[in-house]
Amino acid sequence: MNRDNLAFLQIILNNLDVIFFIFLVFLGFTSGTIAEKSHYRSIKKREENLMHIPVVNSGDFIDNSKEIENVYFISGSCVVALDYFKMVFAAIKQIFGGRIQSYETLIDRGRREAILRLKEKAASKNVDVIINLRIETSSIGQNAGQKGGIGSVEVFAYATAITYKK
């Protein structure tokens, strides 16, 4: 190995952490974008399929002309992880202020996925209407509760499902 190659190698080794950082950002961006796009495709398709089940967050949406047969508590939850690019993007945005778009899509995906899972459960029980829908969010994972890092976000959706007597 000639001296130039050796010196080049040395520069790379000295700056390994910077290179690793750039690699992680790149990896996070590509894998995160691919995962997000395919998740949104799946969300949109399932939302169309389950559109027929009425969901409201109000409590008084019961058809009084029909007799209630069953009342269930149903829930759906979903955990979405941050990718490295989203985290770095948010860290930089937090200095300047403004919308953190990288988190917005993440939370949006979480909420819609949790509601979809709730609706999928409802569909399996032939539910007629879902009332009192509520959503809770919490950050979990390795860095949860620590300053400067959110591991992943959990979205929990819960509601009351009602079936009418046929």
Partner 1 sequence: MKYIPKLPDGDINAPTTNLLKDFIYFLAILILVIIFIYVFLGFLVDIVAEKISPEFEEKLAYNYMMMFEKKPITVKEKKLQKFLNDLVSYTDLKNRKFNARILETKQVNALAMPGGNIIVLSGLLKTVKTENQLAYVLYHELGHYAHKDHLRGLGRGLVLSLIATVLFGSDTFFNRTLSSSISNIQLKYTRSQEIKADLYAIDLLYKKYKNVAGATDLLIVFGKNEPASKAFSLFTTHPHYSDRIKAIDNYIKKKNYKVLMNSQIKLNL
Residue ranges binding partner 1 (CB under 8 A): 2-4, 6-8, 11, 14-15, 17-18, 21, 29, 40, 44, 47-48, 51-52, 54, 56, 61, 85, 88-89, 91-93, 95-96, 99, 101-102, 104-105, 107-109, 111-112, 129, 147-148
Q: Considering beta carbons, is residue 29 or 158 the nearer one to partner 1?
A: 29
Residue 156: CB minimum distance to partner 1, A: 18
Residue 59: CB minimum distance to partner 1, A: 13
Residue 166: CB minimum distance to partner 1, A: 18
Q: Considering beta carbons, is residue 21 or 123 the nearer one to partner 1?
A: 21
Please report how many Cα atoms fall inside a 13 Å half-sphere around the Cα of residue 103, on the Cβ side.
19
Q: Considering beta carbons, is residue 7 or 27 the nearer one to partner 1?
A: 7
Q: How far apart are CA 119 and CA 116, in angstroms?
A: 5
What would the two tokens of residue 60 be? 């008084």
Helix H segments across the chain?
A: 3-14, 16-49, 84-96, 101-124
Residue 140: CB minimum distance to partner 1, A: 20
122 and 74 Cβ atoms separated by less than 8 Å: yes
Nearest residue to 102 (alpha-carbon basis) of 40, 36, 149: 36
Residue 108: CB minimum distance to partner 1, A: 4
The continuous run of DSSP H or E covering 81 comes out as strand 68-81
35 and 110 Cβ atoms separated by less than 8 Å: no
Determine the length of the chain: 166
Nearest residue to 82 (alpha-carbon basis) of 139, 17, 20: 139
